[in-house]
Structure 1
Amino acid sequence: MSAGPIRKPAKLGGTFLAGAKGRLLPASVPLRFFGAAVAFHALAWLALLAGAADWAQWRGGLGWPLAALHLVTLGTLLSSAIGASLQLLPVATRQPVRSPRVAAALWWVYVPGVATLALGMGLAHPTLLALGAAAVVAALVAWAALLGLNLLGARGMPGVVLHGWGALAALALLAASALALVALWLGHPLLDRDAARALHLAAGVFGTMGLLAFGLSYVLLPMFALSGVPDERLQLASGASALAAVALAAVAAFDVAPLALRGAALAAGALALALHLKLMHHALATGMRRDLGRAQQLMRVGWGALALALAVALLQLAAPALGLDAGRLGRLFVVLAVGGWLLSFLFGVLQRILPFLASMHAARGQPRPPTPSALTRERPLAWHFAAHLVALALLAAAVLADSAWLAGAAALAGGVGAVAFGLFYLGVWQRLRHSLATPPPATAARG
C-alpha cells in the first residue's frame, strides 16, 4: 500500500530569529525611532488642539491641522516604519544592516527635519517648511538605499520582498509629490495642486505606509502568534493587487479617466485587503498563541477602518450624483485611513514589538533574560486603548459635523492616549536599562 504524497511542513513564523542576536543593531537605534514616533504622536494631538478653531474651514492648506496630519504620517507612522525595517528586516532576511553608522545617523537628520517641517506648516512659513522637507527627503533617500540593499540580498520571503520594493517605488512618488507641493507653497508650481495632493495621498498612505504595513505583517503576525508562514502565493497576489491599486490611483491623480481609474483602484485595493485578511485570519487562528489581547483588537480595528475607508472612497466617487459633500467625505476618508487603519494597526504592533526587541537586547550575557511580558506595563496600554478609540470616534464626528469643539475634544482624548502610550514606552526603556545594568550572576567555581 503506497503512502500518499508527503507534505512539506509549513515554516513556523519566527524561525528566522535563530542566531538573530548577531544581527541586532544597538538598542538605541530602533528605540530612538520608536521614541520619536511616540513623541510625535503626542505633538500631533497638540497641533490638532491648536488648530481646532480652524477645523471647519480647513481644506488642506497650511496651518496646524496640516501639521497635525504630518506629525502622524511622517512623525509617528514613518518613524516607526524606519525603526522596524532597520532592525526586523535584517533579522528576518538573515543578513546584517549594511551600514550601522548610516542607520544611526538617520535619526539625527530625519527627526529634526520632521519637527522643522511640521512647525513650518503650523506657522504657515514656507521657507521653514522647505528646510524641513529637504532634511526629510535626504534622510528618506539614505533609508531607501539601506532598505534596497537589504531587499537585494534577501533569500526567500517573496511576498515581503515584493511589498518592500513596491513601498520603495511609492516612496519615490511620495518624495516627488512632496517637493512639488513645497514648490507650490514657495510660489513656483511644478504640478497642479489637486494632482500633487492626490498623488501624495495615494503614494504615502497606500503606497509607502500601506505596502509596508501589509508586507511586515507577514513577518510580525506569525512571529507574535507562533503560526506558520502565510501562503506565499496569496502574499504575492495580495501584493500585486495592492500595487495595481496604487498605480491606478497615481495615474488618476493626473485627471486621466479619473472615475474609471479610481473605481478600478478601489476594486484592486478591496481585493488586496480581502486576500490579506484571509492570510492574517489563518495566521491568528492556527497559531500556538491565539489571543494577542489588546494588540490584536487594535489590529482588527485597523483592518475594519481600512474597509470603511474604501467604502467611503467609493461613496465619494458617487457624491455628485447622490448630492453628497465630496470634500467632507474626503476628510472622513483620511481620518479612517490614517487614524483608523494605519495608526490603530501601528499601536497594536508597537505594544508587541517594543517589549520583544527589548527582551532580545536584554538577553545578551544573561542566563535568564526578562520576558516581553515582564517588560510590559499593562495599565498604560489599557488607558491608551480606550482613549485612542474615543479620539477616533470624536474626530470622525468632528468631520461629519464640521465641529471645532468636537475636534478639540478629539485632540484632548488623543492626548490622554498619547501620554499613556508614552508611559508604556518609558517603562520598557527603563526596564531594559535596568536589565542591562544588572550584572549576570557569577558562575559557580568548579571544584
Structure 2
Amino acid sequence: MVPFMMGAEDRLLPPAIPFGFFAAAVLFHIAGWAALVAAAGQAPGFTGGLGPLVAGLHLITLGVLAMAAMGAAFQILPVATRRRLGPLWACRLTWVLYVPGVALLCWGMAMVAPWALHSGAALTVAGLALFGVLVGRNLTAVDDLPAVTVPAWLALAALAGLSGLGLALVADVSAGFLPDRAAFAAAHAALAGYGFMGLLALGFSAVLLPMFVLAPAVPGAAARRSALLAGLALALGAVGAAAATGWLAALGTGLGLAAVALHLRGVRAVLAQRMRRRLEPFFRLLGLGWAMLPASLVAALALALGLDPERTAPLWGLLLVFGWLLSFVTGMLSRIMPFLASMHSGAMVSRLAAGRALPVHAALHGAALTLLALGLLLPWPPLMVAGAAAGLAGSLAFALFAALVLVRTRTHLREGKA
C-alpha cells in the first residue's frame, strides 16, 4: 500500500540522529510546561513582550515542535523520496547548533538578557538554515512525490521568512527599530505555526497517515491543490499581519480555512480506505489537533477583524500552538518513536509502546487545553496555572513513555545478541 517502504531499512540513519532530536524534544516539552506553570497567571490579556511566558512558548515551538519535525524529517524524507538527505556529519551538526541555541535563546527571553538572546538566536537560525539546506538538497532530486515535496518547499520558504523576522525581533529588543513590533510578531507566529510547522505536517501526513493505517497513498493532485492554496493563504495572512492590514489578514485566514477543508477531506478519504479498521490510541491526539486547526483559524479571523484582541490574541496562540500543533506532533511522535525503534531492533511496535503512559498523557493534555482556554476566556489566572500544571504532568507521562521505548529497545537488542 505504501511503495516507498520497500527497502526502507537500507535508508535508515543511525538511530542516534533522529532519537537525539526526539530526546531533546521530550526534555524541552517538560521545560516548556514548567516555565508556563511559573508564568501562566500572566497569560490573560497578554499581547507580547519578553519574560517567562514567552520563553515557555518558544520552548514548546522551537524546542518541541520544530525539534521533533527536524528529527522526523531527517529520517522520513530519505525513506519517502528514496534519496539520501546529506552527509551524517551535517545532520549531527544541526543538532549541535540547534539544541544549545534554543536553550540559550529561551533563557535570554526569560531573563531579558540581550547577549543570550543574540547568541541563542544566531545558533538557532544557523541550525535551522543547515536543516533547510539539507532538506532542499533532498527535494531537488525528487519530481514524483508532489504530496510531500510541494508542502515541504513551501515550508522551507516559510522557514526563511520566520527566521528573518525572528532575527529582526531579537535585534529590536536592543535597537528598537521596528515600527510595529506586535504586527511583526504576529506575522512571525503565522509563518512559524501555519507555514513551517503546518505545511510540514501536511507533507508528513501524506507519508505517515497511509503507512500507519494501511491505506492508499494520498493523491498527488489533491495534495498539491491544498498545499498551494495554503501557501497563498499564508502569504496573504503574513503580509496582512506584518502590515497591520486587517482585511488582508482576514482574507488570508479565509483562504486558510478553505485549504484546511481540502486537507481534511483528503485525510477523511485516506481513513475511509484503510485496511487497519481499528485506529490506534495516538489518533485521539491527531483528531484533537485536526479539530483545533480550523478553530485556531477562526480565532485568527476574529483577531484580524479586531474583535476583543486582549482575549482573541492569547486564545489564538493557545489553539494554534497547544491545540493544533502540540496535539498533532505528540500524537505522531508517540507512533514514530516505537516504529523507528522497531525497524532498528526488530521488536514488535506493540511491545515497545505498551503501557498506560500515553493514555495518561492524552488525558492530561486535553485537560490542560480545556483549563487554559477557560482561564483565558473568563479570565481567571488560577485556571491558567491549573491548566499549565496539567500540561506539565502530561509532559512527564510522555517522557516516561519515551524512556520506556528506549529501555525496551535496548533490552530487545541485548536479548537478540545473547
Per the TM superposition, whether the score is higher than 0.5 is yes
CA distance in 2, matches of 1:39, 1:346: 15
The code of the aligned residue for 2:286 comes to M
The TM-score, its normalising length taken from structure 1, stands at 0.91
Q: Match of 2:32, as an amino acid? A: A
Per the alignment, residue 35 of structure 1 pairs with 23
Identity among equivalent pairs (%): 43
The corresponding residue for 1:332 is 315
1:388 aligns with 365
**Shift of residue 58 of structure 1?**
3.4
Which of the numbers 218, 221, 233 marks the counterpart of 1:245?
Answer: 233
1:281 to 268, 271, 279: 268
Structure 1: distance between partners of 2:318 and 2:41: 18
Q: Which runs of structure 2 are paired with 1:13-32 in the superposition (5 Å)?
A: 13=2, 15-32=3-20
1:245 maps to a residue whose letter is A
Question: Using the alignment, how far apart are the partners of 2:320 and 2:41 within structure 1?
Answer: 23
Aligned to 2:332: 349
SS at match of 2:48: coil
Indicate if the aligned counterparts of 2:44 and 2:311 stay in contact, CA closer than 8 A.
Answer: no
Q: Deviations over 1:96-115 (max 9, x none)?
A: 22111110121121111111
Runs of 5+ consecutive residues of structure 1 not aligned to the other structure: 1-11, 363-368, 442-447
Shift of 1:191: 5.5
Contact 2:233 2:256 (C-alpha < 8 Å) held by counterparts: yes
Unaligned runs of 5+ in 2: none
> Residue 378 of structure 1: SS of its match in structure 2?
coil
Deviation at 1:315, TM superposition (A): 2.5
Structure with the higher helix share, 1 or 2? 2
1:87 to 2:75 alignment: yes
1:81-121, Cα deviation, whole Å (9 max, x unpaired): 10000000111101122111110121121111111111111
Is residue 56–residue 403 contact of structure 1 (8 Å, CA) maintained in 2?
yes
Q: Is contact 2:48–2:182 with CA below 8 Å preserved after alignment?
A: no
Q: Write out per-residue CA displacement over residues 343-397 of structure 1, whole angstroms, 9 at most, x where no aligned residue.
A: 11111111111110000111xxxxxx21111111330001101100000111111
**Conservation of the 8 A alpha-carbon contact between 2:46 and 2:314:** no
Distance in 2 separating the partners of 1:307 and 1:329: 15
Counterparts of residues 287-298 of structure 1 (less than 5 Å): 287-298=274-285
- Provide runs of 4+ in structure 1 moved above 4 Å: none
**What is the rounded CA distance, in whole Å, between the counterparts of 2:304 and 2:132 in structure 1?**
34
Q: Does structure 2 retain, via aligned residues, the 8 Å contact 1:95–1:150? A: yes
Judge conservation of contact 1:127–1:186 (CA < 8 Å) in 2: no
Task: Determine helix, strand or coil for the equivalent of 1:47.
Answer: helix
Deviations 1:278-312 (A, max 9, x none): 11111112111133232111111111111111122
Q: State how far apart, in whole Å, the 2-side matches of 1:400 and 1:63 are.
A: 22
Q: Looking at CA atoms only, which structure, 1 or 2, has the larger radius of gyration?
A: 1
Following superposition, the deviation at residue 155 of structure 1 comes to 3.7
Find the aligned partners of 2:120 and 2:216 in 1 and give their Cα distance. 43
What is the CA distance between 1:188 and its match in structure 2? 4.4
- What letter is aligned with 1:425? A
1:33–1:82 Cα contact (<8 Å) kept: yes
CA RMSD of aligned residues (A): 1.5
Count of residues in correspondence between the two structures = 418
Determine which structure has greater relative contact order: mean sequence separation of CA pairs < 8 Å that are 6+ residues apart, divided by chain length. Answer: 2
Partners of 1:316 and 1:56 lie apart in 2 by 15
Find the aligned partners of 2:410 and 2:355 in 1 and give their Cα distance.
19
Cα distance in 2, alignment partners of residues 97 and 162 from structure 1 = 17
The Cα offsets for residues 171-226 of structure 1, whole Å up to 9 and x where unpaired, read as 01011000110011122425631332122012111110010011110000000011
1:303 aligns with 2:264: no
Q: Alignment partner of 1:98: what SS? A: coil
Amino acid of the residue matched to residue 116 of structure 1? L
